[in-house]
Amino acid sequence: MNMKKGIMGRQILFAILSVVLVAIIAFGVNIGCNQTEVLAPNEIREYEGADLSSINDFRENSIKGPQEIDVGSYTLRITGLVTNTTSYTYDEVLNMYQHYKKVVTLDCVEGWSATILWEGLLVKDLLAKVEPLANAEVVIFRAYDGYTTSLPIDYIMDNDILMAYKMNDVDLPPERGFPFQLVAESKWGYKWIKWITEIELSDDIDYRGYWESRGYSNSADLDKSFFGD
C-alpha cells in the first residue's frame, strides 16, 4: 500500500515538474519573441576601392571609459579668442555646415591603426563662423570626460580637418566618441579627441593637453616620435 502511494506521489511530482518545465519553456520562448534583438550597425567596409577597418577594430583606451552623451542636452561651445562666442546644439552643428567624407587612418601610439571613412564637417568652417581674433594661435579641444588636446590654428586652417559624426556610414557609437570625434589627420591618435564639447581658441602656444602634459609630443606628427617636443 505504502509502495503504491510512493509511486503515485512520484507520478504526481513528475507531472507537476513537467507542467512547470513546459510553462518555463513556453514563457521563455514568448519572452524571446518579444525581446528586441540588437542588430549590428550596417557599416560599410569598402569605399572607392579602399578596404576599411571596422568600427569594432578600435581599442578602448579613453581616460574614463566610454561616455554616454544625451543628444537632447548636448551643446558644442566655441569660446576664447573669437569675435562671437557661440553655442550649438547637435542638430545645429549638423544642419549649419557643409558635410564632407574622407578615408583617414588613425594610428595609435599603442601600435594599432584603423582606416575609416569619416563623415563630418570641417573645423575651419566652424571657426570661420565665430571669427577668430588675430592673436589666436592654438585651438584647444575639450571633451565630456575631461580630456583635452590642442592643435595649432594654422594646422586646422591649412588642412581639411574633420569633426566627424559618422564613421563607415553609421553614426558614431558612444564608445567611439558620439556626438563628435576630431579626425586629426597625420597626427598620432591622442590628438583624435572624442566626445568634443568645447573648442577654445587661445594664444597660449605652450598649452598641453591631457597626454601631452604626461610626456607625449605636443606636435604629435605621425612621421616623428610621439615622445619629446
Question: x-or-dash pattern for other proteins, window 39-68, by CB under 8 A?
Answer: --------------------x-x-x-x---
- Its sign, for the CA torsion 182, 138, 100, 180, is positive
Nearer to other proteins, 100 or 210 (CB): 210
DSSP assignment letter at 189: G
Nearest to 157 by CA among 124, 129, 134, 183: 124
- Asked if 103 touches other proteins (CB under 8 A), the answer is no
Q: How far is the CB of 76 from other proteins (least distance, A)?
A: 27
The residues with which 200 forms a beta bridge, in sequence order, are 79, 140
Which residues, 194 to 223, sit near other proteins by CB under 8 A? 211, 214-216
Nearer to other proteins, 60 or 206 (CB): 60
Three-state secondary structure of 130-176? HCECCCCCEEEEEECCCCEEEEEHHHHHHCCCEEEEEECCEECCHHH
Nearer to other proteins, 61 or 95 (CB): 61
Interface residues with other proteins (CB under 8 A) are: 59, 61, 63, 65, 109-110, 211, 214-216, 227
